[in-house]
Every structure is written in C-alpha cells, then in structure tokens.
Amino acid sequence: MKKIVFRFWGINLLISILLFFAYRISISQTATSNGNSFEQWMQIVEILLNLGFSLIYLIGMTIFSLAVLLNLVEKIRNNIYLSLLTFLGLPSICVIIIVIKLVIDISFNDFALLKTFTFFSILYLLLTTIEFLLFRKRINKELNK
C-alpha cells in the first residue's frame, strides 16, 4: 500500500511541476506593447506580479502534493471521504478563494491579473480529481485481494 501512495504522490508532484513550467511559459508568452515609459514600467510590474504568482503557485502545489502523503495512515486511506480531502480539500478551498477574488476583480474593472493563475489552478484541480479516482480504483482493487 505504501508503494501505491508514494507512486501517486510522485505523480501528483510531477503534475505540479509540469503545470508550473506551463504556467511560466504562458507568462513568458504574454504580448508586450511599445508605449511610453509609464506603460513599460507597468508591464514590468505586471511581469513581476505574474512571477510572484508563479512562485505562490509552486509553493501551493508542493504543499498540496504533500497532503497526499496523509494516505499513508490506514484510517485515512480506507475512508473515501478523508482520502478525498487529502487530494482535493486544500486545492478546492484555494480555488474557491481565487475564483471569488477573480469575480470581484472583474466586477470592478475589466482587467484581471488572476486569469492565468485561476486557469492553471482549476486545471490542477481537474487533474487531481482524475488522479484521485484512479487512486481509489487501485486501493479498492488492493483491498479486495
């Protein structure tokens, strides 16, 4: 059982790293415009904010991946709801907070800095959901042996 948990933790960590690199690539592909010096400074500030968000994203994904290791505890691993919380609990709460912040930002102005961050957070949540379903299928298979 421990091998299964560590294997899925490794997969979760790999997903996190791949999404982090995809997030950094999407930041680097943002279009820049040649304007006056104020607009150039604002673009630099926006890039720095995006890099800060990518660092927060990496730290968050690492913490979320470590929560999967709670499945090493037999009581958590055998309870589907507790196991679900280890995979999706923290990421779901964070995505809900980010989406609420995004909706508030959009309602006050059209520009939303958190769009890319929200997209990748929701993508992580979807991939982790698929990973959880595969994990439960594998655990149930092992328990039925």
Residues 6+ apart with CB under 8 A from 49: 113
Which pLDDT score, from 0 to 100, does residue 32 have? 67
CB atoms within 10 A of CB 43: 16
Which pLDDT does position 23 carry in this prediction? 86
| Cβ atoms 89, 59 nearer than 8 A | no
- Residue 111's pLDDT is 56
DSSP structural state of residue 114: T
Is residue 14 over pLDDT 90? yes
| Over residues 56-79, mean pLDDT | 88
Judge whether 92 and 125 are in contact, CB under 8 Å.
Answer: yes
Other C-beta atoms closer than 10 Å to the C-beta of 104 total 11
One-letter amino acid at 86 equals T
Residue 81 token pair: 């709801």
pLDDT of residue 113: 66
Domain boundaries, the chain: 2-143
Confidence at 125, pLDDT banded by 50, 70, 90 = very high
CA–CA dist 104, 84 (Å, integer): 29
Calculate the dihedral angle through the C-alpha atoms of 83, 84, 86, 88, rounding to the nearest 10 degrees: 170
H or E stretch at 49: helix 37-67
Q: What is the pLDDT of residue 35?
A: 73
Q: Specify the pTM.
A: 0.82
pLDDT tens-digit readout, 17-61: 999 899 888 887 776 667 788 878 888 888 888 888 888 888 888
pLDDT tens per residue across span 75-116:
988 888 999 998 998 888 888 888 888 777 776 665 556 778
